[in-house]
Amino acid sequence: MSLDPSFVGRTYPPTAPYQVGREKIREFATAVGATDPAHHDPEAARALGHPDVVAPPTFPVVITMAASRQIVEDPALGVDYSRVVHGDQRFGYTRPVVAGDELVCVNTIEDVTTRGGHGFLTTRTDVSTTAGEPVVAVWSKIVVRGEA
């Protein structure tokens, strides 16, 4: 799988705002077994200084995975999604995601390489509020496996 290296540095238009719901955070926290009251009870979250329930650390992937379709479905880049394997994942927080946030994603392609017949694509998604406050930067590296 050969990916076009000229895509490095390309930034995509901001995604439509994602409304972070309290019940979505509770649902995600329950699914990963995160029982801390701050994920479920607004009072417990407020006691820690947050305006509403706090999302677990990997929650932003719910938003960024949907946002990254912009890249993996870009016909000009030509990623074959059936051959995609998740390589690396990283979250760099300015602050935790909380219920009530309205978040916008800006995707940038940081690196494109081809090695051993496989394509490697590193993207950074800058997640910020609609007011422009940065919340979390999310890096993801996917491997597009070559034809055997």
Partner 1 sequence: MELPTQTFRITRADLVRYAGASGDFNPIHWSDRTATKVGLPGVIAHGMFTMALVGRAVTTWAGAPDAVVDFGVRFTRPVVVPDDDQGTEIEVNAVVKEVTEEGLTRLDVTATCLGDKVLSQARATVRTPADR
Q: Which residues bind partner 1 (CB under 8 A)?
A: 27-28, 30-34, 36, 38-39, 48, 50, 54, 56-58, 61-62, 65-66, 85-93, 96, 139
Alpha-carbon span 3 to 142, nearest angstrom = 12
Question: Containing H/E element for 114?
Answer: strand 102-115
Name the residue nearer to partner 1 (CB basis): 4 or 83. Answer: 83
- The nearest distance, CB 114 to partner 1, in angstroms, is 19
Closest to 128 measured CA to CA, from 79, 93, 99: 93
- The nearest distance, CB 89 to partner 1, in angstroms, is 6
Name the residue nearer to partner 1 (CB basis): 6 or 90. Answer: 90
- The nearest distance, CB 86 to partner 1, in angstroms, is 5
Contacts of 115 (CB under 8 A, 6+ apart): none
Q: Record the tokens describing residue 103, joined without a space.
A: 């978040």
Name the residue nearer to partner 1 (CB basis): 1 or 54. Answer: 54
DSSP 23: H
Name the residue nearer to partner 1 (CB basis): 5 or 90. Answer: 90
Residue that has been written with the tokens 């705002």 in this structure: 17
SS3 state of residue 22: helix
